[in-house]
Structure formats: structure tokens, C-alpha cells
Amino acid sequence: MATVEALFELPFLDLLYRAQGVHRAHHPANEVQLSSLLSIKTGGCPEDCGYCSQSSHHKEAGVAAGKLMAPAAVLEAAQAARAQGATRFCMGAAWRNPKDRDMDTLTAMVRDVRALGLETCMTLGMLEEQQARSLKQAGLDFYNHNLDTAPDFYGHVISTRSYQDRLDTIRKVQQAGLNVCSGGIVGMGETRRQRAGLIAQLAALTPQPESVPINHLVPIKGTPLEDAPALDEFEFVRTVAVARIAVPGAVIRLSAGRESMSDATQALCFAAGANSIFLGSKLLTTPNAPVSADLELLARLGIRPAAGKP
Ligand code: SAM
Ligand code: DTB
Ligand code: SF4
């Protein structure tokens, strides 16, 4: 924890220089992986995460509850994502946990998307061991389950589950042989120490997560965090850099919040070691930059999209 905190205190350029050095020792330079995100079950979630539009506790946020999509519709979306250049397809459900009766539908989705040659990721909430094993058996590559923030800030943001619940699911995912995608959100009013606390927790997982999404809070009207104080953009870049140094082998995903970031800030995030973005005009419920603008930005920076790993 002390070493992670010390990284945050470095002069900005020293931190960026170190992060880019670590990046080049572990990952190809000038390469960013393109992912696509689909909400396979939207809204009506029983959890009360203070940032989220999909919680049934935040009715003013105005996201209607839907049903789990049919595998055929998911396959169609994955085909479209692949045609746009994505090599990874992430499927998210607004659940506390999947029901056993949904497992056949979920595993069918994984098989279909995997058969397209796309890397697969799902985020469905808490898992039981058997559910994690079924997803692995169907060919799921990654499971996303974010720690989201430091243990001592968690209770300010979410009351319906504990930090330990998150750690327990991550352990089950690891035991099932799945790769772990776990990261967090910054800009929720947490302190720098708490941002360091999140990264220290992620870095302490054994094995370390293979994928770390760093989300910038997208403030959503009707949620408890709609008026969270704005975060200095350099502090966001610092968080990306510290994640890169502390979890050197992971793909660091520049996730939610890019829509409101300038091209220059995004370029700084790439310099800090971010090497994946979500492509497509929508995340789960919030807008994302248009595909053409993203591809143009990468081209302007001489960054090539990473080839897929079939
Ligand atoms: N329901 C599942 C869960 O919470 O594990 C999966 C979906 S949930 C929407 C996935 C992640 O999206 C959250 O852990 C959080 O990091 C991120 N997220 C949700 N709403 C966000 C927002 N308004 N701004 C930034 N990130 C957000
Ligand atoms: C993650 O850490 N970020 C993605 C993905 N995992 C599932 C989700 C971002 C959601 C942003 C808010 C929304 O669109 O509702
Ligand atoms: Fe539900 Fe996930 Fe949103 Fe929390 S972040 S309310 S668990 S969909």
C-alpha cells in the first residue's frame, strides 16, 4: 500500500516515464486492443451501487428493466462488433447474481461468440463455483468483477453487498480457471489514498488480474453520485499509470468516461499504459465515442489495433 501511495506522489512526468517503461517491458508498444460491450440484461438490478443507472433503487435514473436477451440477438451484435474491428466481446447483466435457470442461455451465448473468434468476457454479478465452472467449460475467457474502490470507501457507495463478497467471487472465478478482469471507478469523491487503496487491493490478488478496467465515473442524473466532485484529469491519468506499474502483466482498459475526455487526455492515458478501449457508440447504458472518431484518434497517434487471438 505504501509503495502504491508513493507512486501517486511522484512528479507527473516521472510517473508517466516509469509507467511507459513497465508497459514496454510487458506489452507491445503502440498497440491498443479493441473491445465491444453489450448489455445482455438491462436495468432492474436489486443492488444499490451509487454510481449505477441500472439499480432499481435509482428509479429517477430512468432505465427500464428488460429481460435477458436471446442468444441469436447477442450473436448478431457480436458479428457487428467484429465487423467494426473488435477482437473481444464483453456481455454485462444487471444482476446481483445469475439464476441457475439462466445458465444454459448464458453458456450458449459464450459458445456462439467464441465461435466467431472473439475473446469473450461476461459480468453477471456474484457467481457460485458451479456457475463459474459452467462458463469456463463453455469457453468463456474472462469474468469481469470489479472491486470498484478501496475497502474503506466501499460502504459509502454500495450497501447491498460487501467487499468480501467481491473477493469471494473473484476467488471462485480464479479457481474455475477463468481469467479475471477486475478494476474500479475513480471520480466518486474518494481520496487519493483510497484510489491507491483500490490499486493495492488489485495488485495483491494472487494471481494478479489479467485485465484491469479503469472507469471514470459517468455521473448519472437520479443516482446518489450525480453531483460527485469533478476529478482533476491528471489524477485520472495518474491512476492509470499506477495501475500499469502495480499490475504490470494486465491489460489496462480505459473504460467508462472516455466520452467526456479530450483526445489529449486519452493520449496521456495511452502513454500511462492503457492498452484497451471499448469501441462502439454505447457502453451499457451511457454513450461512448463514435467508432470512426476512435479509429481516427488511434491513427493520429500511430497506435495500431491489436490483432485478435483466435
Ligand atoms: N452487475 C454486475 C456487477 O456490478 O458486477 C456487472 C455490470 S456493472 C454495470 C460493471 C461495472 O460498470 C461496475 O462494476 C462499475 O465499475 C462500472 N460502472 C457502472 N456504472 C458506471 C458509471 N456510471 N460510471 C462509471 N463506471 C460505471
Ligand atoms: C467495466 O469495468 N466497465 C464496463 C464493463 N466493465 C462492464 C461498464 C461501464 C459501464 C458504464 C456505465 C453505463 O454505460 O451504464
Ligand atoms: Fe447492479 Fe452492477 Fe449496477 Fe451495481 S453496478 S447496480 S450490481 S448493474
Residues 6+ apart with CB under 8 A from 154: 148, 162, 163
Residue 188 has, within 13 A of its CA and on its CB side, a CA count of: 26
How far does residue 284's CA lie from ligand 2's centre (Å)? 6
Instruction: Measure the CA–CA gap between 281 and 295, rounded to whole angstroms.
Output: 12
pLDDT, mean of residues 137-159 = 98
Instruction: Measure the CA–CA gap between 132 and 168, rounded to whole angstroms.
Output: 12
Residue-wise pLDDT tens digits, 182-213: 999 999 999 999 999 999 999 999 999 999 99
What pLDDT sits at residue 59?
Answer: 84
Helix 2-9 to helix 12-26 angle (10° resolution) is 120
Q: Is ligand 1 within 6 A of the CB of residue 183?
A: no
Q: Is ligand 3 within 6 A of the CB of residue 36?
A: no
Over pLDDT 70: what percentage of the chain?
A: 99
What pLDDT sits at residue 310?
Answer: 47
For the CA of 52, the closest atom of ligand 2 is 15
Name which residue leads in pLDDT, 118 or 65: 118
Let me know if 52 is a catalytic residue: yes
What pLDDT sits at residue 33?
Answer: 97
Residues 6+ apart with CB under 8 A from 300: 263
Looking at all shown ligands, the one closest to residue 142's CA atom is: 2
Q: Is ligand 1 within 6 A of the CB of residue 275?
A: no
Q: In whole numbers, what is the pLDDT of the chain averaged over residues? A: 96
Residues 6+ apart with CB under 8 A from 61: 52, 53, 54, 55, 220, 221, 222, 223
What pLDDT sits at residue 115?
Answer: 97
Grid coordinates of 189 = 469523491
Looking at all shown ligands, the one closest to residue 218's CA atom is: 1
Let me know if 121 is a catalytic residue: yes
| Cis, bond preceding 207 (omega within 30 deg of 0) | yes
Reply yes or no on whether the pLDDT at 51 is more than 80.
Answer: yes
Per the listing, cell 469474468 goes with: 143
Q: Are strands 179-181 and 31-41 parallel, antiparallel or unpaired?
A: unpaired
What pLDDT sits at residue 60?
Answer: 85
Closest by CA to 215, choosing from 165, 269, 164, is 269
Per the listing, cell 511507459 goes with: 20
Looking at all shown ligands, the one closest to residue 57's CA atom is: 3
Q: Is ligand 1 within 6 A of the CB of residue 215?
A: yes
Q: What are the C-alpha distances in Å from 155 to residues 46, 98, 149, 190, 289?
A: 16, 23, 10, 12, 32
Reply yes or no on whether the pLDDT at 309 is more than 70.
Answer: no
Instruction: Measure the CA–CA gap between 119 and 117, rounded to whole angstroms.
Output: 7
Let me know if 90 is a catalytic residue: yes
Q: Is ligand 1 within 6 A of the CB of residue 55?
A: no
Nearest CA to ligand 2 atom 9: 256
